[in-house]
Amino acid sequence: MPPPTKVKRPSAIAVGEFFKQNEKALKLKLVGSEAGFDRKIYEPSVNRPGLALSGFFTYFAYKRIQVIGNSEHSFLEGLEPKLRAARFSQLCSWDIPCIVIARGHRLDEELIEIANSAGITVFQTSMMTMRFLNAATIKLEWTFAPSVLVHGCMVDVQGVGVLIQGDSGCGKSESVIGLLQRGGSLVADDAVRLRLIEDREIVGSAPDLTRGMIEIRGLGILNVAALFGVGAVRLSKRLDFIVELVRGAKTQDLERVGVSTDAREVMGMKIERVALPVEPGRDVAGLIELAAINFKLRTFGYNSAVEFDQRLLKKMTDDQLG
C-alpha cells in the first residue's frame, strides 16, 4: 500500500485563517480592522494580559491570542483615560497576534483605534471568558497538532474508530458501504488525515474536499449523508483499530487462533492491527464489524482466544490425568 505522506507540524496560523475557521464556533465578531489578519499565532494557547495591562511584561506570552475578560475589562475601565490609553498602547507595542474581548464587552473607540494603528485586529465574542478560553485552546490544539495523510478508509463501527487499509482495488470502499448498511458512520474514504492530539490519541478526519463522500467503482462519487442519513457521517473519530485487507499469497500466514495481537506504530503510538483475507464470497464488512466488536471486548478485559487456549490446556490436562 502507498506509504503515508510526511508528518506535518504547523508552526503558525494566520489570524485571518483562524477567524475564518472558527468564526461561528467561537462566536467571533470583527470589531477592529482587518489590518492584523496576516499576523501569526505561534502557540496553541491563549493568554489573559492582566499583568501586562498593569505594566508588568516579564514572561509576557505575546505569541498567543490575548483575551480580555471581565477582570481585565474592569481594570481598564477603572483607569484614568490617559493612563488607560498608555497601558493599552504599551500592550499593542508588542508583536501580539490579535485581541479578543469576551462576554460581549466593548472597548472604547480610542482603544480600538490604538489597536488598528498598531496593525492588531480586535474581535469580540459573546462567550463567557472561561468557555472561550477552553474552546479556543481546543481549536488551536487541533490546528497545531502534527498530522499525516494516509491511504485508506475510516469508519466508526459501534464506537470503535477503524482504519481500513489494503492494496488498491481490494474492496475497502465496498466494505465501508456494508458497514454503513449495518449502522456504521463514515469518517473518510480513500484518504484519511490523522492528527496526534497532545501525544495521547490519534484522531482521523477527511480532507475538506472529500468529506461525506465515498467513491465506488462503477458508480462514481456518492454522497453518504444523502443515501444513509446525516447520522452515517462523522467529522472526526479517534483511531482505535486498524484492519488490513490482504489477498493472494499474503493470506497464508495469517493468525488463526488470535492469542497474540499485532500492532502498528502510527505517529509514535501503538495501534492494534488485524489482517483479514479478501476472497470471493466472503462478507468482509461483517468480518470487520466482528473484529471491531472483538477489539471492544478485549478493552473490557475479555479475550475469547485466551479462553479457548485455557479450555484446550484444561482438556489436555484432563486427558493426561484420565
Q: Which residues pair with 201 in a beta bridge?
A: 197
Beta bridge partners of 47: 66
Please calculate the CA angle 113-115-119 and round it to the nearest 5 degrees.
Answer: 115
Residues contacting 198, CB < 8 A, separation 6+: 141, 145
Tell me if 98 sits within 8 A of 7, measured CB to CB.
no
Q: Which residue has the cell 458508480?
A: 219
With cell 485508506, the residue in question is 152
How far is CA 113 from each of CA 72, 100, 127, rounded to the nearest angstrom? 18, 15, 24
Length of the chain: 322
- Going by C-alpha positions, the residue among 193, 195, 165, 166 that lies closest to residue 268 is 195
Question: How far apart (Å, rounded) are the C-alpha atoms in residues 26 and 28?
Answer: 5
Active site residues: 151, 172, 190, 256
Using CA atoms, how far apart are residues 16 and 36, in angstroms rounded to an integer?
A: 8
Record the cell numbers describing residue 221, joined without a space.
Answer: 462519487
> What values do phi and psi take at 41, rounded to 5?
-100, 120
Give residue 166's identity as a one-letter amino acid code: G
CA atoms of 247 and 239, how far apart (whole Å): 24
